[in-house]
Amino acid sequence: MAQRIRVEVKAKDSFWYQAFHVEWQDRFPERELAADSASFLIDSDWLEDLKEVGKQVFCQIVVAPQNPERRAWLNALKPNRGK
C-alpha cells in the first residue's frame, strides 16, 4: 500500500483549477482526489502524474504539510509586512 501524502493545487485562477480537475478525471477516472480542506490526500505514487497533468493546465502541484494547523500557527507568528 502506498503512503498517503497531502498536496495542494496552485492555479492562476478558478478556471485553471477546474481545468486541472477535469483533465485529472479524464486521464485517471479510477483515481479520486480526496479533498481535505484546501488540499488533497493522495497515494504518493500519484505525485508524478499529478505534476504532469498540472503542467498541462498551468498549475503547480506542491506537497503540503501533513498538519495544516501547523502552517496556520506559523503564519500567525510572522509579523504583518506591508501594513
- Report pTM: 0.76
18 grid coordinates: 477546474
Residue 43: predicted pLDDT: 94
- Looking at the chain, the whole-number percentage of residues with pLDDT higher than 70 is 83
> In which element (H, E) is residue 67 found?
none
Q: Does position 37 have pLDDT exceeding 80, yes or no?
A: no
Integer Cα distance of 17 and 10 in angstroms:
8
Integer Cα distance of 64 and 1 in angstroms:
20
Residue 78: predicted pLDDT: 75
pLDDT tens digits, one per residue of 72-81: 656 677 777 5
> What mean pLDDT, rounded, does the chain reach?
87
Residues 38, 40, 46, 50: is their CA dihedral positive or negative? negative
Domains of the chain: 4-77 (3.30.70)
Integer Cα distance of 52 and 28 in angstroms:
12
